[in-house]
Amino acid sequence: MMRMNHFISPAVLAAGVVMVFAVCTRPLRADSLPFSTSQFGYPDIGLSGVAVSYNSSTGAFTATGTASMVTLDSQANMAPGAPGTFQLNATIVDTPDHSGHGTSGDLLITFGSQTWFQSNTLLGFGSGSTKAFEFVFEQSPITVAPASPLAPATGTVIGVALTGGSLSKPSFQNSFSFTNGKGDAAPIPAPNPALAGTALLASLAVGSLIKFRRVRAPATGPGSALN
Give the tens place of pLDDT for each residue, 23-45.
333 333 334 566 666 788 999 99
Are 181 and 201 in the same domain?
A: no
Are 111 and 183 in the same domain?
A: yes
Classify the phi-psi angles of 223: left when phi > 0, otherwise alpha if psi is within -120 to 50, otherwise beta: left
Q: What pTM value is reported for the model?
A: 0.71
Instruction: Assess whether pLDDT exceeds 60 at residue 202.
Output: no
72, 42 Cβ separation under 8 angstroms: yes
Q: Helix or strand or coil: residue 32? A: coil
Q: Which structural domain range is residue 10 located in?
A: 2-18+194-216
Are 11 and 104 in the same domain?
A: no
114 in a domain, yes or no? yes
DSSP string, 98-129: SS-EEEEEEEEEEETTEEEEEESEEEEEEEET
221 in a domain, yes or no? no
Alpha-carbon 22 to chain mean position: 12
Which residue type does 190 have? A
pLDDT bucket at 220, cuts 50 / 70 / 90: very low
209 in a domain, yes or no? yes
Are 92 and 199 in the same domain?
A: no
Mean pLDDT of all residues in 200-210: 36
Burial class (CB in 10 A: 0-12, 13-18, 19+), 12: middle
Instruction: Assess whether pLDDT exceeds 60 at residue 85.
Output: yes
In 62-72, which positions are buried (b, 16+ CB within 10 angstroms) versus exposed (e)?
ebbbbbebbbe
Q: What is the rounded distance in angstroms from the CA atom of residue 133 to the CA atom of residue 107?
A: 14
